[in-house]
Structures are given as C-alpha cells and as structure tokens.
Amino acid sequence: MIPTLALEHELLRDFPLVIACDEVGRGALAGPVTVGATVIDASTIGAAGGVIPEGLRDSKLVTERKRADLAERAAGWVSCSALGAASAAEIDADGIIRALGMAAVRALRGLAAQGVDVRAAIVILDGSHDYISREWDSCDLVAREGAGGITVRPVVKADRDCASASAASIIAKVARDRQMIELHESLPAYSWDRNKGYGSAAHRDAIREHGVSEHHRRTWVMGEAYQPAPLFASP
C-alpha cells in the first residue's frame, strides 16, 4: 500500500503543523529504541504539489539497499525532522513504554531546537497508545519554561498509511541501523551489522556463548507497573 497525505490534509485544516512520530527498535534484544519525528505544513505539501517521494513506504516494507537513499529524500521532502533515542539501560530501568516516551520527547525537543512550535502542532503517533503526552508533561522543558501540553493522535498503521509517518519511520530506521553497525565494530561476536540487535538465531547463539553486553536489554518490561524479569538466562 502506498501512503497518502489524506489525514495530513484533514488535520492541517485545524492545526498549522503536523508532526509524525514512529519508533524503531522496540522489539530488539540490543541497542536503543529510536523515534523519528517529521514536520509538514501546508507549504510543504504545496511545494511538492502533494506528491510524496517515490518509493516511500513504512521502513519494514523497504529493502535495506534502498533505505538510505529513500531516507535522504524523505528528509528533504519534509520541512523538518529529528531523532530521539532511549538506551538499553533506560529500557531496563524504566520499561519500554516510558523509554518510548523519553525517545519521542527527545525527538520533539530536537524539532523545537530547530524552531518548530511543537505545542501548535498535532502529533500523529503510529500505534494505538499515546506514550508521549505523559512524558512530555513531566519533561524539564515544561517545568522550566512553562511550556504547555501537546496534542497527540495515535493512529494504527500510520507508518503504512500516512506519508509523514512513513518518512519518520524510514529516517529513524536508517539512523538506528547505522548506529548498530557502528556498535558491531567493537563487538563483532553478536553480528549486529546483520541483525541490527534483533533476535536472530546467530544473535541468540552469541549471547549463549559470550553473555550479554552493555548494549543488551537485560529485562523486558511492558507498562508502568512491572516486576523486572531476566531477558536472558545466565551464561
């Protein structure tokens, strides 16, 4: 399915900006979770004549050899983009849901640093759960500067259906993959250049042989109230 700008057009009737957020790395065994954020407005759509970059899709539907070029073109198409990440240690300490929120807020703050009025926008968030608002409300930007809340609209399959979210997805995917390839250079036993931290058979075999690294998620927790449980058996 080719994403469209139908929802973005609708939302721009009521908001001056649309920000789209999508995460990558949520299900990995190692590495950060990364959130990409993109911004479009009426002028962005008008300048491109309403045409999205050729080949734009949810990053999971784009082959690895095509992703870097597509991510570059997607970043040039949107008016602004930014990334935020939460580390494996933060996922272990706070749980995946809060880590997603922290990563998203960091991406939004990256947009704000580029002059984007995040509070004036509506945020399309891929998925069914708003993990951003609570974290935004508690961030130091709000506490220090009295910044107001943000408007978040979760949209299931936004990365498939909404072009702005597809752009966020591909930008985040390429950035995280590059980080995992860089980490591979110092820890080649886990083959992160190939599996990008996900649970391939070779990755799991390497964990059994070598144990976990500082970049592995030692617990896998969901929700806000949890009992940490080991992700891996002791080697």
3-state DSSP call for residue 117?
coil
The dotted CATH code for 6-178 is 3.30.420.10
Residue ranges covered by each domain of the chain: 6-178
Is 70 exceeded by the pLDDT of residue 223?
A: no
Q: Which residue has the tokens 């752009």?
A: 167
From the centroid of its chain, how far is CA 221? 18
Is 70 exceeded by the pLDDT of residue 147?
A: no
Average pLDDT, the chain: 88
Lowest mean pLDDT, pick from 18-22, 71-75, 229-233: 229-233
Q: Which residue has the tokens 């008008």?
A: 46
Is 70 exceeded by the pLDDT of residue 185?
A: yes
Element (H, E) at 39: strand 33-40
Q: How confident is the model at residue 26 (pLDDT cuts 50, 70, 90)?
A: very high
Find out whether 24 and 173 touch, Cβ atoms under 8 Å: yes
Total Cβ atoms within 10 A of residue 88: 24
3-state DSSP call for residue 144?
helix
Give the pLDDT confidence score for residue 86 in this predicted structure: 98
- Using a 10 angstrom Cβ sphere, with 0-12 exposed, 13-18 middle and 19 or more buried, the burial of residue 140 is exposed
The pLDDT tens digits of the residues spanning 92-110 come to 999 999 999 999 999 999 9
Give the pLDDT confidence score for residue 62 in this predicted structure: 86
Is 50 exceeded by the pLDDT of residue 59?
A: yes
Find out whether 183 and 31 touch, Cβ atoms under 8 Å: yes
Give the pLDDT confidence score for residue 148 in this predicted structure: 65
Rounded CA-CA distance 59/169 in Å is 6
